[in-house]
Amino acid sequence: MKKIINSYAIWGFLLVCILFNVVLILSIGIDPYADYVKKVSVHTGLQLGERFNQKLTAFVQGENLKNDNSEQLVSETNETETNFLQNEDQKQYNQEQLASETNETEANLSQKESQKWRNSEQFYQESLIQETTEVSDVFDGYDTGKIADTYVQTFRLKGKLAENMRNKYADLQKIADEKGKHDDSLSLYFAGSTYGQHHKLFFSVMRSIIIEGVLLSVLIVLFSIGYENSNRIEDIVYSSKAGRPIVMKKLIAVVVTGIFFYLLLLGASLGLYFSVNDYSGIWQSNVSSSFNGIGDIIMGFRPFLTWHNFTVLSYLFATIGVSLILILCFSLMGFVAGICIRNSYVGFFALFFVNALLVTVTAILPPDSYFLFTLMLSPICLLIKQPVWFTDGGFDILWKNFEIRGVGASVVVMAIIVVVAAIKFRKREII
Amino acid sequence: MLLVNHVTKNFGKFTVLSDLTLEFENGVYGLLAPNGAGKTTLIKMLTTLIFPSSGEILWNGNEIVKLGENYRDLIGYLPQEFGYYKNHSPFDFLMYLSALKGMEKKAASKRVEELLELVSLSDVRNKKMKKFSGGMIQRVGIAQAMLNDPKILILDEPTAGLDPKERVRFRNLISSLSKDRIVILSTHIVSDIETIANHVVLFKDHKLYCDDSPANVCRTLVGKVFETQDISSVKEPYLLLTERQEEGYTITRYVCEGKGQFDAKSVVPNLEDVFLYVYRDEVLE
C-alpha cells in the first residue's frame, strides 16, 4: 500500500481525472431555471398537488409584490436625486447638467436591468406554474405490458426469452401501480429542468467518475502486482518466507487502496458539482417524477420507473454503492491479469482488449440470444448501463434488479477465478 | 541436510539437468560450470522458484515445496541478476525485505544496521540506491541474503561487479559464515571457489561430473599439467590452458596426456586447469 500511496503516477492520474471532471462540470454549466425551482421548493415543498399550487401561488404573489415595492423605491430615489441636482448653483451649470444627464442614464439603465430580471423571473414563475398545474400522474393507468409486447415483437423473442421478458414487465407493472397509488410521480424534482439535471448528474458526471474509478483501480492493481517484476526482485520476494502467498495479501491491500482513491475522486468531483449545482431542498424528490424519463430507440421516451422507491439522495447513494462493487469486480479482473501476465502494460492492454471484445460481441449477437442477455450482466456492460441502473434497463435486460444481480454474480465469478489464478500461481515457475 | 535426489529438469524437450544427486551439509559448496550448464537452474530449484520435472529435493527428509514457508525461512538467496528498488535507500530496502522474511521490526532494524556495517555501507545507509555503483548494489544483495541468518545461503555469482579488494573481503566473510550453515556458491571465478570452498561441484553434459574437495578435483590432473617457454616444440597432443609473461619470457601452461617434453616443467594442477580441461572444446594436435 505504501508503494502505491508514494507513487507519483497514481496521484498524477487521479489529478488528471479530477481536472477532467472540473472541466466537464464547468462546461455543463448551471441551469438558472433549476436554481429557481430549488429556491421555490423551500416554500412549496416537493409533493405536487393542490396544496403545492396554493403555496406556489402565494410565493409568486409574494415575490411579485416584493419586486414591485423595490422598483417603486428605486424610481422615487432617482426622482429625488434629479430634483436635488436641478437646484444647484448656476456657475456649475454644465457640470450639473452633465451630472443630471448621467444620473438619468443610470436610472434608466437600472430600470431596464430590473425589467429584464423581472421578465426572466416572471418567465420562470409562469413556466413553473404551467408545468406543475398541468402535470399528471404518469403511473395512473401506466401499462408496462405494452413495453414487453413491443420488445418481444421487435426482437422476435420466443419461448423462455419471451416469457422472461414478459415476466419482468409484469413485475414492473406492480411497481408502477404502487407508484400510481402513492402519487410518486407527482414529485417536483427540478420541474421542467429535471431531465437535464438528472442527465447531467447521473449520465455525464457519475458515469465519468465511475469510468475513471475503474481505470484507477485497475492501474493500482496492475502497478502493485507487477512491481516486483518491473524492479526484478521477484526471485528474492518469492523465495522469501512470505513467498508466493504474498499476492493474496496484496490483493486485499490493492482493493482497499483502489476504493480509497475512488472515494477521493468521488468526493472531489461531486463536491465541486454540488457546489456549482445546489441540490439543497431537492434531495427528497422522487427520481420517478413525471418530469424525469429514459428512452430507447424502440419505445422512445418513457417514465423513469425504478424497482425501488428512490429519492434523489438515496438514488445517488445506491449508484455509488453499486459502483463500489463494480470497481471491486474490475480490481479482481486486474489482479487476475496481473498474476497471469507478468508485464503490467501488457496486462492492462489484455484487460482492455477482453472488455472491448465483450462489448463488441454484445453488439453483434442476435437480440434473441440468451447468451447476449447473460453477457449484459458482465461488469463492462453494467458500466455502460449505469445511467439506467435500478430501472427495467431496456430491451437488452432480461431480469429485474439487473445491476444487483450483475455485480453480485460478477463478484462471485471473479472470486472463483481469483482463487484458481492464485492456486495456479503457486505452481508457476519464476524463471 | 539438503538432499537433491535424482532430480531431472526439462524445459519442454530440452533437458537442463539429468538425474542429479547431491548432498549438502555444513560447509561451502562451489558450483563450477560454464554458462548454460544448469547451475542457476539447480539454484532456482533449491529456492523453490522452479520445480523438478522428476526427482525431489529434501530438507531433513521433507520435500522442500511441501515445507513451504518453513523451508523458505531457512534460506538466504542472492540471485544472479539482483534487482532492487531504485528510490529506496539500502536501509529502507533491507527493512522491507526483513518484513518479507517475517522478522520483527526492532530485531530487523538492529540486524540491518549490523549487516550494513559488515558490508561497509553504513555511511550510505540513507542514500538512494539509484546512485550506487554496481559493487555497492552487490553488497546490498549479499546483506539481504544474510538478513534472516539463514541455515542455507545460496549465492549466484556473488562476486560479479566486485573489485579485487571487495572480492577478498567477500571470501573472508563467506569463510567465517560457513562453519554452521550450508553455503552454495555459483561462480565463474575459479579463485573464489579455490580459496573458500570445501566441495567443488562440476556439471558436464547436464549431469553431475564430480562432487569432491578442491584438492581431490585437482588431483585428477596430477602429472598432466606442464609449463614451457617453447610450446611449438611440444609434439604430443596437448590442451593449451593459459599463458603468462615472466622475466621477458612467455610461459605456456598446458595439459598433456602423455609424458610432455623434456624441457617442460610438471606443475601442480589448480582448479582453473581442471575447469579448462573438463570444459575443453578441442585438443591442439
The per-residue pLDDT for range B197-211, each reduced to its tens digit, is 889 999 888 899 889
Q: Is the pLDDT assigned to residue A123 strictly greater than 50?
A: yes
pLDDT at A302 over 70: yes
Res B284: pLDDT? 43
Cell 405490458 belongs to which residue?
A145
Question: B54 CB contacts (<8 Å, ≥6 apart)?
Answer: B6, B7, B8
* Confidence label for A162 from pLDDT (cuts 50, 70 and 90): very high
Residue at B265 is within a domain:
yes
Q: So what's the pLDDT on residue A197? A: 93
Same domain, B228 and B123: no
Residues B284/B238, Cβ–Cβ less than 8 Å: yes
Do residues B231 and B129 share a domain?
A: no
Contacts with B101 from chain A: Cβ below 8 Å: 240-242
- Strand B249-256: give its sheet, edge to edge: B238-246, B249-256, B225-228, B265-266
Count CB neighbours of B25 within 10 A: 11
pLDDT category of residue B135 using cuts at 50, 70 and 90: confident
- From chain A, pick out residues whose CB is under 8 angstroms from the CB of B72: 239-241, 243
> What does the alpha-carbon distance between residue A50 and residue A48 come to, in Å, rounded to a whole number?
7
**Which cell numbers hold the place of B103?**
522478522
- When comparing pLDDT for A136 and A265, which is higher? A265
Boundary of a domain, candidates B178, B213, B248: B213
Co-location of B6 and B118 in the same domain: yes
**Band of pLDDT at residue B60, cut at 50, 70 and 90:** very high
A243: left (phi over 0), alpha (psi -120 to 50) or beta: left
Q: Give the mean model confidence (pLDDT) for residues B131-157.
A: 92
User: Which of A207-211, A390-394, B86-90, B281-285 has the least mean pLDDT?
Assistant: B281-285
Q: How do residues A339-370 score in pLDDT, each as one tens digit?
A: 999 888 899 999 999 999 999 999 999 988 89
The answer to whether residue B145 is domain-embedded is: yes
**Residue A91 forms contact with B (CB below 8 Å):** no
Q: Are residues B63 and B178 in the same domain?
A: yes
Q: Which residue has the cell 575447469?
A: B275
User: Whole-model pTM?
Assistant: 0.85
| Residue B184 shares a structural domain with residue B149 | yes
DSSP A204: I
Cα distance from B44 to chain A (closest Cα, Å)?
Answer: 8
Size of interface A-B (CB pairs under 8 A): 65
The candidate with the shortest Cα–Cα distance to A43, out of A70, A61, A65, is A61
Distance CA B105, CA B95 (A): 8
Residue A78 has pLDDT above 70, yes or no: no
Q: At B156, is the pLDDT very low, low, confident or very high (cuts 50, 70, 90)?
A: very high
Shortest distance, CA A354 to any CA of chain B (angstroms):
29
**Mean of the per-residue pLDDT values of chain B:** 89
Whether the pLDDT of residue A117 is over 60: the answer is no
B83/A427 CB distance under 8 A: no
Can you say how many angstroms the Cα of residue A267 is from the centroid of all Cα atoms in its chain?
13
Domain residue spans in chain A? Answer: 2-28+189-427, 49-134
- SS3 of B51-117: the string is CCCEEEEEECCEEHHHHCHHHHCCEEEECCCCCCCCCCCHHHHHHHHHHHCCCCHHHHHHHHHHHHH
Integer Cα distance of A156 and A349 in angstroms: 37
CA A405 – CA B137 distance, rounded (Å)? 53
In this prediction, residues A142-148 reach a mean pLDDT of 93
Tell me how far CA of residue A256 lies from CA of A207, A316, B100, in angstroms: 21, 22, 20
**Domain encompassing residue B113:** 2-213
CA quadruple A166, A172, A176, A182: dihedral, nearest 10: 150
Q: Flag whether residue B284 sits within 8 Å of chain A, measured between CB atoms.
A: no
State percent of chain A over pLDDT 90: 65
Specify if B75 maps to a domain.
yes
What integer pLDDT is reported at residue A100 of this predicted model? 59
The number of folded domains in chain B is 2
Same domain, B152 and B233: no
Cβ–Cβ < 8 Å for A282, A228: no
Are A344 and A338 a contacting pair, CB within 8 Å? yes
- CA–CA distance, A164 with A399 (Å, rounded to integer): 7
Whole-angstrom CA distances from B117 to A214, B112, B140 are 46, 9, 11
B100 touches chain A (CB under 8 A): yes
- Is B285 a member of any domain? no
pLDDT for residue A111: 66
* Nearest CA distance, B179 vs chain A (angstrom): 23
Residue-level pLDDT at A423: 92
Final residue of a structural domain among B189, B213, B237: B213
* pLDDT greater than 80 at residue A68: no
Length, in residues, of chain A: 431
- Extract the C-alpha cell encoding A199: 442527465
Whether residue B225 sits in one domain with residue B131: no
Q: Do A235 and B148 touch (CB under 8 A)?
A: no
Question: Could you identify the residue written with the cell 430600470?
Answer: A111
Contact between B217 and B196 (Cβ < 8 Å):
no
Gap between the Cα atoms of A76 and B284, Å rounded? 123
With contact defined as beta carbons under 8 Å apart, do A327 and A213 qualify?
yes
- C-alpha B216/C-alpha A77 separation (Å) is 119
Cross-chain residue pair A429–B50, CB shorter than 8 Å: yes
Most distant CA atoms of chain A, gap in Å: 106
Nearest CB neighbour to B48, from listed A232, A236, A239: A239
Q: Quote the pLDDT of residue B162.
A: 80
Q: Does residue B157 fall inside a structural domain?
A: yes
Residues B205 and B238 both lie in one domain = no
The residue assigned the cell 497471469 is A340
In this complex, the residue of B84, B86, B101 whose CB is nearest that of residue A240 is B101
Residue A395 binned pLDDT confidence (cut-offs 50, 70, 90): very high
More confident residue, A145 or A72: A145
Q: How far apart are the first and last CA of chain A?
A: 26
CATH no. for residue B123?
A: 3.40.50.300
Give the model's pLDDT for residue A8. 85
Give yes or no: residues B19 and B100 share one domain: yes
Domain co-membership, B19 together with B119: yes
B260: left (phi over 0), alpha (psi -120 to 50) or beta: left
Which among A238, A242, A246 has CB closest to B49? A238
| Separation CA A164–CA A181 (nearest Å) | 26
Q: How many residues does chain B have?
A: 285
CB within 8 A of B43, min separation 6: which ones? Answer: B31, B77, B154, B156, B184, B186
The Cα–Cα gap between A289 and A263 comes to: 29
* pLDDT tens per residue across span A216-245: 999 999 999 988 888 889 999 999 999 999
Percentage above 90 pLDDT, chain B:
52
Considering only A19-33, A98-112, A291-305, which range has the smallest mean pLDDT?
Answer: A98-112
Kindly state whether B83 is in contact with chain A, defined as any CB-CB distance less than 8 angstroms: yes
Where is the domain boundary, B213, B239, B258? Answer: B213
Q: What's residue B285's pLDDT?
A: 40
Cβ-based neighbours of A238, under 8 Å, separated by 6 or more: A228, A244, A246, A430, B48, B49
Regarding whether B165 and B201 lie in a shared domain, the answer is yes
Q: Which residue has the higher pLDDT, B242 or A116?
A: B242
Is there a contact between B75 and A239 if contact means CB atoms under 8 Å apart? Answer: yes
Domain-embedded: residue B284: no
Least confident of B165-169, B213-217, B258-262: B258-262
Q: Tell me whether residue A324 is exposed, middle or buried, using C-beta atoms within 10 angstroms of its C-beta: 0 to 12, 13 to 18, 19 or more.
A: middle
Q: How far apart are CA B1 and CA A221, in angstroms?
A: 40
Q: Does residue B225 sit in the same domain as residue B261?
A: yes
